[in-house]
């Protein structure tokens, strides 16, 4: 509970009581009645009100997030050199007063949105880049009064420091920082570097004036309508070029795939042809070796061929016709082994029969 405020409330009630008693006394006096009792009550109440008013004027309660600067008519410099810390404090009534400053964190926002910043309407920071392009910056500055420099802050800025120190300082530093970079660096490749540069510069300047910079937030960057259209067209062209490169790459892959397929088919055909050729060579070698073996067998046993021929004849053949101009190559069973019969006429060769 804030005792100073309670005491001020009691003082107010006492003064109202004094006014009420005076009014009643006046009414009674106008009617010719005695007012001695009311006079005593009025004096007593007035004295109590005066005493409590003086006490209330000297009591100051400082909240934990506050610090107080004592303005004193009794000090050579016009103020106490010690800041009032949180708690219930006492100053000399009517000779000293207290100016309370908040040391809590505050945010000052500059935005293009009409209802978002501290100033109504478009309060974004317009700046020129190194290549002459105009950009608009939205930013928030988070800061707090330095508790150790409250007196100096009061002397230099009083309570105007947000509007007259933080705001213009931030806008000037932002413009100076942006002017060092090209427009594409501001919104893409070097944005973090720009933000850090602004933060460092603001921290230094605010500290010189009794303000602690907690953080600087570069919230948004927008461009002029003409440049925004050119950026959009550039992005569209880059997307189209990327799509074209993708199509070309796809066609290359398809062509490479077709080449590999044809190469595989050719290799398969070559292997198949090689296999067939190798099979033919093997077959030819086998046939040649077989013929050599047959020839060798015939050389070693000339009657083998006759035997093979006879075994090929069907067992039920009774008559065999041969041309009249061809000799008999086969010995018949009824003839001698060296007999050969020739004929100029068709000859019927009886097939041997077996007598049961």
Q: pLDDT tens digit string along 317-339?
A: 555 555 666 555 555 444 444 44
Residue 99: its pLDDT value, please? 94
Residue 353: its pLDDT value, please? 44
Q: Six-digit token pair at 332?
A: 């018949």
Residue 151 shares a structural domain with residue 166: yes
Reported confidence tier of residue 344, pLDDT bands at 50, 70, 90: very low
Span 156-186, pLDDT tens digits: 999 999 999 999 999 999 999 999 999 888 8
Residue 71: its pLDDT value, please? 94
In a domain, 94, yes or no: yes
Range with top average pLDDT, 34-38, 207-211, 352-356: 207-211
Q: Which of 262, 278, 304 is a domain's end point?
A: 304
In a domain, 323, yes or no: no
Residue 94 shares a structural domain with residue 112: no
Residue 68 shares a structural domain with residue 158: no
The per-residue pLDDT of the chain, averaged, comes to 81
Report the alpha-carbon angle 101-164-158, nearest 5: 30
From the centroid of its chain, how far is CA 137? Answer: 22
| pLDDT at residue 15 greater than cutoff 90 | no
In a domain, 333, yes or no: no
Residue 97 shares a structural domain with residue 128: no
Q: State whether residue 227 is helix, strand or coil.
A: helix
Domain encompassing residue 114:
106-229
In a domain, 262, yes or no: yes
172, 117 contact by CB (below 8 A): no
Q: Give 351's DSSP letter.
A: P
What CA–CA distance (Å, rounded) separates 272 from 203?
81
| pLDDT at residue 37 greater than cutoff 80 | no
Residue 34 shares a structural domain with residue 66: yes
DSSP per-residue string spanning 136-152: EEEEEEEEEE-GGGHHH
Number of domains in the chain: 3
Residue 203 shares a structural domain with residue 181: yes
| pLDDT at residue 300 greater than cutoff 80 | no
Residue 67 shares a structural domain with residue 153: no
Phi-psi region of 117 (alpha: psi -120 to 50; beta: other; left: phi over 0): beta
Residue 132 shares a structural domain with residue 214: yes
From the centroid of its chain, how far is CA 90? Answer: 56
Residue 323: its pLDDT value, please? 60
Residue 83 shares a structural domain with residue 27: yes
Q: State whether residue 337 is helix, strand or coil.
A: coil
Q: State whether residue 275 is helix, strand or coil.
A: helix
Residue 291 shares a structural domain with residue 267: yes
Residue 63 shares a structural domain with residue 135: no
In a domain, 296, yes or no: yes
Span 252-271, pLDDT tens digits: 888 888 888 888 887 888 78
Q: Six-digit token pair at 174?
A: 């932002």
Mean pLDDT (whole number) for 104-126: 87
Q: Which of 200, 229, 258 is a domain's end point?
A: 229
The residues near 4 (Cβ < 8 Å, ≥ 6 apart) are 56, 59, 60, 61, 88
């Amino acid at each position: 509970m804030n005792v100073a405020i309670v005491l001020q409330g009691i003082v107010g009630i006492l003064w109202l009581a004094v006014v009420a008693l005076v009014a009643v006394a006046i009414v009674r006096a106008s009617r010719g009645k005695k007012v001695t009792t009311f006079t005593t009550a009025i004096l007593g109440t007035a004295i109590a009100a005066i005493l409590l008013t003086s006490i209330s004027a000297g009591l100051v309660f400082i909240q934990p997030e506050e610090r107080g600067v004592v303005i004193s008519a009794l000090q050579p410099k016009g103020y106490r050199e010690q800041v009032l810390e949180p708690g219930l404090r006492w100053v000399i009534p009517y000779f000293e007063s207290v100016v309370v400053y908040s040391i809590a964190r505050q945010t000052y926002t500059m935005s293009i949105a009409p209802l978002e910043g501290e100033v109504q309407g478009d309060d974004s920071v317009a700046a020129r880049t190194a290549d002459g392009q105009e950009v608009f910056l939205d930013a928030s500055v988070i800061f707090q009064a330095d508790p150790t420099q409250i007196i100096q802050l009061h002397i230099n800025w009083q309570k105007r420091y947000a509007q007259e120190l933080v705001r213009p300082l931030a806008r000037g530093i932002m413009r100076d920082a942006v002017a060092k970079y090209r427009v594409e660096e501001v919104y893409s490749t070097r944005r973090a570097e720009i933000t850090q540069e602004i933060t460092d510069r603001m921290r230094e300047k605010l500290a010189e004036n009794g303000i602690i910079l907690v953080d600087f937030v570069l919230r948004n960057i927008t461009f002029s309508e003409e440049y925004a259209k050119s950026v959009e067209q550039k992005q569209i062209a880059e997307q189209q070029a990327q799509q074209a490169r993708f199509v070309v790459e796809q066609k290359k892959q398809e062509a490479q795939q077709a080449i590999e397929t044809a190469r595989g088919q050719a290799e398969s055909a070559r292997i198949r042809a090689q296999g067939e050729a190798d099979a033919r060579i093997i077959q030819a070698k086998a046939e040649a070796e077989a013929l050599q073996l047959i020839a060798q067998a015939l050389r070693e046993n000339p009657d083998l061929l006759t035997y093979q021929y006879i075994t090929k004849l069907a067992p039920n053949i009774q008559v065999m016709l041969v041309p009249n101009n061809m000799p008999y190559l086969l010995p018949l069973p009824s003839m001698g082994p060296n007999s050969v019969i020739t004929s100029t006429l068709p000859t019927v060769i009886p097939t041997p029969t077996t007598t049961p």
